[in-house]
């Protein structure tokens, strides 16, 4: 079961990149900037929101549930399984149990994570050799998300997902996003 989250339902900032051209493809992939998340992942995300708020941060959300057609479009543009899950394997985003995000400070400034969202280089990996402030910012996000119960993907500082993703079905309906 997917649940919509937005700035009215939660204290977050929405920036659904695939509903704009401000993404690695330069194309609009989603027709509607909806942010949907599986009810089980929402429980963890709400814990993460509390943890972030207690540290003086707000989340900016880039993506969550991703329809299969969108996964196929992304794969067709970047068929690199280090960053895009092949559609035939089934993405955790297409299961509704992943979320891509960053942190905003109390002044409304996005923390410097060293690379933009969807930067498909080694600099986007956890553990990349980066300036101390960037490492600190990434560790803050990592600490909040893992303390809330999420797993992380080592190649993308912005990507968090539930453990045991295969127990969740691939979602065939695009829920009005495409």
Could you report the per-residue pLDDT of 13-69, keeping only the tens digit for each? 999 999 999 999 999 999 999 999 999 999 999 999 999 999 999 999 999 999 999
CA-wise closest residue to 2 among 30, 32, 35, 29: 35
pLDDT at site 161:
98
The pLDDT, as a whole number, for residue 109 is 97
User: What tens digit of pLDDT does each residue of 118-138 get?
Assistant: 999 999 999 999 999 999 999
Indicate the pTM of the whole model.
Answer: 0.96
| pLDDT single digits (tens) 6-29 | 999 999 999 999 999 999 999 999
Alpha-carbon gap, residue 139 to 149, rounded angstroms = 15
3-state secondary structure of 144: helix
Whether the Cβ atoms of residue 54 and residue 83 lie closer than 8 Å to each other: no
The question of whether 110 is a catalytic residue gets the answer: no
- Contact, 74 vs 63, CB < 8 A? no
Whole-angstrom CA distances from 70 to 20, 50, 53 are 13, 30, 31
User: What dotted CATH number matches 2-167?
Assistant: 3.30.1380.10
Confidence label for 93 from pLDDT (cuts 50, 70 and 90) = very high
**Which of 7, 110, 135, 156 does the annotation list as catalytic?**
156
Helices H / strands E in the chain, number of each: 3, 7
């Amino acid at each position: 079961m997917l649940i919509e989250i937005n700035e009215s339902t939660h204290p977050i900032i929405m920036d659904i990149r695939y509903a704009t051209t401000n993404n690695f493809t330069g194309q609009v992939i989603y027709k509607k900037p909806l942010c949907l998340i599986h009810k089980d992942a929402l429980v963890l995300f709400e814990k993460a929101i509390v943890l972030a708020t207690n540290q003086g941060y707000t989340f900016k959300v880039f993506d969550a549930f991703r329809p299969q057609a969108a996964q196929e479009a992304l794969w067709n543009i970047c068929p690199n399984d280090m960053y895009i899950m092949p559609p035939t394997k089934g993405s955790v985003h297409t299961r509704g149990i992943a979320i891509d995000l960053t942190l905003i400070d109390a002044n409304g400034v996005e923390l410097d994570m060293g690379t933009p969202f969807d930067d498909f280089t080694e600099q986007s990996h956890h553990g990349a050799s980066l300036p101390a402030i960037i490492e600190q910012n990434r560790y803050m996000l990592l600490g909040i998300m893992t303390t809330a119960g999420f797993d992380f993907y080592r190649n993308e500082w912005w990507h968090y997902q539930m453990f045991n993703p295969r127990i969740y079905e691939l979602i065939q309906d695009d829920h009005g996003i495409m």
